[in-house]
Amino acid sequence: MPLVTTTEMFKKAYEGGYAIGAFNVNNMEIVQGITEACQEQKAPVILQVSKGARAYANHTYLVKMVEAAVQECPDIPIALHLDHGGDFEICKSCIDGGFTSVMFDGSHMDYEDNVKVAKQVVEYAHAHGVVVEAELGQLAGVEDDVVAADHQYTDPAQVEDFVTRTGVDSLAIAIGTSHGAYKFKPGQKPQLRFDILEDVSRRLPNFPIVLHGASSVPQEFVKKVNEFGGNLPDAIGIPEDMLREAAKSAVCKINIDSDIRLAITAAIREHFATKPGDFDPRQYLKPARQAVKDMVTHKLVNVLGCNGKA
Ligand code: G3H
Ligand code: 13P
Ligand code: ZN
């Protein structure tokens, strides 16, 4: 099947009490690792591309690799999504360039500007058959080289007005998740504001909610990276049971990038340390790709619950 939007995926996920994985893609091995797992598990999937990914791999290469995955994985719906589009222009460029979904991220703007640009993106996107995610509130963590120290939790009182005035198709909210591999301090009890999520979903019935910054930072990867010469002290993610709880609620899209980075880095570091004579990139990228596939398989089955839903 051709690339799809997220409309149908989200409707089924909402009704079925599971979430779709939105995985960031930056190169061929990542695209293959994710989509091979999804094809095997019969899981719908969102492949998402950031501004940094476009700068690294080039828009055309990314689109063509995703198109290749669509061809290789005939049994599953795949959406191609722009992650954190910071202005109208980048959203337009991705809409014109074959994406089926874009995020306009105006979370750094004041409320009225966020409404204004989100509405402009929606008008253009919908006229081209593309869906739009926007964000209210702000996540802590690293995002496109910008570090935000504190969360600005989403104000549930704003969500109806925002969705009505902009016409967005899904909404990312800030409930305590954050970007990157350092989401909580050592000794700090991981907590998410499920009360905000509940309030938002009460105000927006049947409306898909998105969680960014939802990597769980598996400790086996952190341990392996550190064991083989890396330095990731106190990397901590969102506990998987919290993500499972979120996936059962109005949360229909869960964003995962850092866990892919960790899986790849752990595999490559282990390879270099244990096979110092290898110098063919295929030798160490193969286990790295397999590590992505294994990690994604685990998420689909044990965290998101979207296996078998294609
Ligand atoms: O939320 C940000 C994603 O992890 C993408 O990161 O901008 O470094 O590609 P990036
Ligand atoms: P993580 O850093 O938790 O993987 O979040 C990724 C994300 O939100 C991409 O938009
Ligand atoms: Zn994000």
pLDDT tens digit string along 246-305? 999 999 999 999 999 999 999 999 999 999 999 999 999 999 999 999 999 999 999 999
pLDDT recorded at residue 150? 79
Nearest to 242 by CA among 197, 192, 198, 196: 192
Please give the average per-residue pLDDT across 147-167, as a whole number. Answer: 92
pLDDT recorded at residue 1? 82
pLDDT, one tens digit per residue, over 19-69 is: 999 999 999 999 999 999 999 999 999 999 999 999 999 999 999 999 999
Taking the centre of ligand 2 as the mean of its atom positions, its distance from the CA of residue 74, in whole angstroms, is 27
Lining ligand 1 with CB less than 6 A are 24, 50, 52-53, 83-84, 143-144, 179, 257
278 in catalytic set: no
Atom of ligand 1 nearest to the CA of 212: 1
Atom of ligand 1 nearest to the CA of 179: 1
pLDDT recorded at residue 221? 98
CA dihedral 158, 163, 169, 171 (to 10 degrees): -10
Are 264 and 29 contacting, i.e. CB atoms less than 8 angstroms apart? yes
Whose structure tokens read 């589009």?
A: 85
Please give the average per-residue pLDDT across 91-114, as a whole number. Answer: 98
* Residue whose CB lies within 8 A of the most ligand 2 atoms, among 256, 262, 292, for a mutation test: 256
Residue 30, helix vs strand vs coil = helix
- Assess whether pLDDT exceeds 70 at residue 147: no
Which of the following CATH numbers is that of domain 7-219+242-261+293-304: 3.20.20.70, 3.30.70.360, 3.30.750.200, 3.40.190.10?
Answer: 3.20.20.70
Pick the ligand that lies closest to the CA of residue 25: 1
Are 73 and 45 contacting, i.e. CB atoms less than 8 angstroms apart? no
Please give the average per-residue pLDDT across 116-132, as a whole number. Answer: 98
Lining ligand 2 with CB less than 6 A are 24, 83-84, 179-180, 212-215, 255-259
pLDDT recorded at residue 148? 67
